[in-house]
Amino acid sequence: MSILDKMKQAKEVLGNAKKAQQEMEKILVEGESGAGAVKVTMKGNHRIINIEIEPSALNDDKKVLEDLIVAACNDAINKVEKEIKNKMGDLMNLPSGFKLPF
């Protein structure tokens, strides 16, 4: 493989990485816990953009509410990871089992 072929391949990989980042920005998931008492909306870059807490959950003690928030965040993270694997793996033609660095 010549240096020009390697440079072309590197440019293609960089282009695919930029497309992947743009696609990640479009991913939006909602994690929830406590049968919907706490809902967390998260973007594909793992940024939380909204948290909704049902008024009934405010009547629970502080520790229960904290646990519900953590569980909803973890649910959203799991959903984001699944979406990333589905969308980015196809976009970048990654082999199965390959973990993305972002």
* Residue 44 burial class via C-beta count within 10 angstroms: exposed 0-12, middle 13-18, buried 19 and up: buried
Look at residue 36 and tell me if it is in a domain. Answer: yes
User: What is residue 97's predicted lDDT score, i.e. its pLDDT?
Assistant: 58
Q: Which domain holds residue 42?
A: 29-94
Query: How confident is the model at residue 94, as a pLDDT?
Result: 54
Predicted TM-score of the model (pTM): 0.72
Strands 48-53 and 28-33: unpaired
Residue 52's pLDDT is what? 98
Total number of domains in the chain:
1
Query: pLDDT averaged over consecutive 10-residue blocks of the chain (102 residues)?
Result: 81 79 87 97 95 93 96 97 81 56 51
Cβ 74 vs Cβ 9: under 8 Å? no
- What CATH code is carried by the domain that includes residue 66? 3.30.1310.10
